[in-house]
Chain A
Amino acid sequence: MDRIQIPATPRSPEVDFDFAAGRFRLAGESYPEDAAAFFGPLLQALRTYLAASSTDPIVFEVALVYFNSSSAKGLMNLFMPLEDAAEAGRSVTIRWLHAEGDETIAEAGEDFASDFTHARFDLVETAQTGH
C-alpha cells in the first residue's frame, strides 16, 4: 500500500501512515470542521491494510497536543480495528505521547488505554518542549 503522508494544518494533524514499515503516526492538533471526513479515509486505509493477512508488527504513535471530541471519536475508530488485530494475534503497540505535565493529554491517553486488552498501550511522557 502507498504510504499516506499529510502535512499538518492549523486544524488537522500531521499524518504519516507507513504501511510497508508498519509504522503509523499522528502529530499536532486535531479539530477539523468535519472530523468524520478527515478520519474516514484513514480508517478505510487502515482497515484495508489490516485485512491483508500479514503478521508484521504495528506501531501506532499518537503525539497530539489537542484534539476535540469528534477527533477523539475518530481516534477511537482507528484504535478498534487495531485492538481486533491484536486479539487475532498480531503484535500491536500504541505509543501515546504527551508532554511532561500535560495532564489533559495524559488523562485522555489513560482513557484510551482502558479500552485495550490485547494491544500494548504505552503512555510515553516526553520532555517539555516549546520553552
Chain B
Amino acid sequence: MTSDPGGKVASPAVGSPPRKRSLRGGGPLSGDEFRELAGFADASASAPGTMRPGALRGSAQGRDLDSLAHTLFLRIYPVIAIVVLATQIGIAWVNYTDSLRLYTERANLLVTLTAHSIARPDWSERPDVYTAQIQALTLDPAFQFVRAWNAAGGLVMSVGEIPAGRGLELIRASSTVTAAGRAESAGRLTLGLSTEALRRNAEKQALLALGATLILMLAFVLTLHANVRKHVLAPLKRLLLAMREVEHKRWSLVEFDGAVRASNEIDVISSAFNRMVEGLRAGDEAKQLLAELEQAHAKLADANNQVMESIGYARRIQTSVLPDRAALAGAGIDVAVLWEPLHQVGGDYFWLERLDDLSIVVVADCTGHGVPGAFITLIVATALDRLLHERGLRSPAEILTALDEMVRVQLRQDGRGAESDDGLDCGVCIWDPAARRLSFAGAGLALTSITEAGLTRIRGARHGLGYPRHGSTRFTTEDIILDVAPGDTFYLMTDGLTDQMAPPGAQRRLLGHRGVSDILVRSRDEELRRQISILEAELVAYRGLESRRDDMTLVAFRPIRPTSPDAAEDNR
C-alpha cells in the first residue's frame, strides 16, 4: 500500500496538497490544473488557459482510464489478501493449539484412569488385572503405544511401537500406578498418542485458506473490473468524449442509458458538465448572434449613412432648384412657404417668380415622395422654366396644358408602352397687381381663399397632369379670375397637408380639407408666417404619434393693401 506514491490517478482532493483545495468549494480549477490533477499529463496545452484542439483525445481513448482500475487493484488487493490470509492462519493456529491441548488432556486422562483401575499392590503379578485394561487403550483412534513398568522398573507390558524420529507428532503421557492407602509407587504407565491427524487437519485448513484467498482475489478482480468499468470508466469515457466535442464547439451533452450507470459522483459531475455546456452553448450562440447582429448593424448603418449622405446631397440640389422664398418681396404680395418633404427630398415643388410685374405662384405635387418624387419635380422645374421664359406663357390654364404635354413627352407617356405611370397635381396662380386680379388654374390641386365672405375652395380640373392616357385627349381647363379685396388670403397646398391621419384609438380618419380650413380660418388674422407655425403645430397635435403620410407644401400669399386708397377703390 505504500508503493506508487506518484500515482497517476491520485484523487484530486489529496493529490495537490500545496493548493489546499478540494473539488467542493475550493474554487474553479483551471484547465491545466484539472488535467494535471486528473493525470492527463499528455493533455496539457502549450498555452496556459487555452485548450489545444484534440488535447483530450488520448484521454478519451481510455489509456489513462485503464490505469485507474490497475491502480485500484494494486492498492486494494494486497491489503485484502494479507488480511484474509492472516485471519485464516490465525484461526488455523488457534484451532491447532486447541486440538493439541485437548489431545494432551485426553492422553493424561486415559493414562491416569487406566493407572487407577489397575492399581493394586500386586498388580504387576496378575496379568488378568491389567491386560484387558491396558489393551483397551489401543481403542483410541490416535493410539501409538503404551508401556507399563512395575515398581522395580521392569517392563511389564508393551503394546505398539514408539515411532522413531517423529517425536514432534507424538504426545506422551505418564502416570504412576499407586495402590490405595499406600504411599509408594507400585509402577508406572506411559501412553503415546499420535498427532498426525491433527497435522493433516492443519494442512488441509492451510490449503483451504490459500484457496479461499485465491478465489477471493479472482472474484475481487472481476467485480472491481466490472464495476469500475460500468460505473466509472464508461461514464468517464463518455464525459471525456463529450469534452472533446465541446472543445471543438460541438455542444454535446453527457447522458447515461441503461448499459452505463454512472456512480453518484460522476453523475453529479456530468450534470454539472451538461449545465456548463448549456451555458457555454447559450453564451456562444448569443455571442455569435450578437456578432452577426453587430456586423449587420454596422453594414446597415454604413448603407444608411451612404443613403442619407446621398439624400442629403440630393436635398441640396432640390432646394437649389426651389426659388428664393423672398422672390416676391417688393411685388406687393406677402408670401409664406411651408415646404416639408417626408424624407429629406420629395415630390412637392413650388415656384415663385415676378415676371413683368406679374407674380407667379406654382405648387405641384408629383407622384411619389422621396427620391422618385424629386426626380419628377426636376422635370416639372425644367418644363416650367421653358414655359415661362421661352414661351412666355402668362395664363395659368395655358401653363397647365403645356406642362401636361411637356411632362408626358418627357416621360414618354405619349406613345405606347410607357414605363412611367407618373404625373402631378398642380395649381398655378398669377397675381396682377395693377388689375388687382388673381387668375388661377388647377389640375387636381385646389386654391383655398379666405375673404370677408369666408373660406372658399376652388378646385379647378379634377385630373392631374401627366399619366399615360387613353387616346390623345389633351388636358384642358379654364382660367378662373378672382377680384381681390384687401386682406384676402390665398393658399395653394398639396394633399400631404390635409392627409394627416389621426392616431389609432381615436377616430381613424384624415384631417381633410375641412380640418385644415378650420385651422386657417381660426388663425386668419395672424401674420402669414405665424399662421403657418400655428397650422404646423395643430397638424402635429392631430396626428399624435402617427407618422406623416406624404410630403407637404403650403404657399400662402396675401396681396398687400394698396398704398393709395384710390387704387383700392378702383379695384373693388
Contacts and interface: CB of A to CB of B under 8 A. Distances in A.
Interface stretch (A15-23, A86-94, A101-109): A101-109
Contacts of A66: 499, 501, 510, 549
A129 interface: yes
Given A31-B550, A68-B549, A69-B425, A130 B508 contact: yes
A131 B513 contact: no
A29 B365 CA distance: 20
Instruction: Label chain B's interface by main secondary structure.
Output: loop
Contacts of A2: none
A53 to B, nearest CB: 23
A114 B549 contact: no
Contacts of A101: 509
Contacts of A105: 509-510
Nearest to A11: B549
A46 interface: no
Given A36-B421, A130-B506, A104 B365 contact: no
Nearest to A77: B421
Contact of A111 (B462, B509, B512, B550): B462
Band of interface residues on A? 20 to 34
A101 B508 CA distance: 12
Contacts of B365: 69
Nearest to A131: B507
Contact of B510 (A77, A104, A128): A104
A31 B549 contact: yes
A99 B467 contact: no
Contacts of A114: 462
B31 interface: no
A68 B512 contact: no
A77 B367 CA distance: 15
B562 interface: no
A29 B504 CA distance: 12
A104 B467 contact: no
A128 B498 CA distance: 19
A104 B550 contact: no
Interface string A63-85: 00110111001000100000000
Contacts of A65: 501, 508-510
Interface string B495-527: 100110100011111101110000000000000
Contact of A104 (B367, B421, B498): B498
Contacts of B514: 103
Contact of A102 (B464, B467, B510, B550): B510
B368 interface: yes
Nearest to B504: A130
B507 A69 contact: no
A83 to B, nearest CB: 11
Nearest to B501: A66
B57 to A, nearest CB: 55
B549 A69 contact: no
Contacts of B507: 99, 128-131
Nearest to B549: A31
Contacts of A104: 498-499, 509-510, 512-513
B550 A129 contact: no
Contacts of A73: 367, 421, 423, 467
A19 B513 CA distance: 36
A28 to B, nearest CB: 10
Contacts of B549: 31, 66, 68
B467 A68 contact: no
Nearest to A111: B462
A1 to B, nearest CB: 25
Contacts of B505: 130
B367 A103 contact: no
Interface centre among A70, A73, A99 (most CB of B within 10 A): A70
Given A66-B549, A70-B368, A102 B421 contact: no
Interface string B529-552: 000000000000000000001100
Contacts of A111: 462
Nearest to B506: A130
29 contacts: A31-B549, A31-B550, A65-B508, A65-B510, A66-B499, A68-B499, A69-B365, A69-B425, A69-B464, A69-B495, A70-B367, A70-B368, A73-B421, A77-B421, A99-B509, A102-B509, A103-B512, A103-B513, A103-B514, A104-B499, A104-B509, A104-B512, A104-B513, A105-B510, A111-B462, A129-B507, A129-B508, A130-B507, A131-B507
Interface of B: 365, 367-368, 421, 423, 425, 462, 464, 467, 495, 498-499, 501, 505-510, 512-514, 549-550
The 9 closest A-B pairs by CB, nearest first: A104-B512, A130-B508, A104-B510, A130-B507, A102-B509, A103-B512, A103-B514, A70-B367, A111-B462
Interface of A: 29, 31, 36, 65-66, 68-70, 73, 77, 99, 101-105, 107, 111, 114, 128-131
Given A77-B421, A130-B507, 7 more contacts: A65-B509, A65-B510, A99-B509, A105-B509, A129-B507, A130-B508, A130-B509
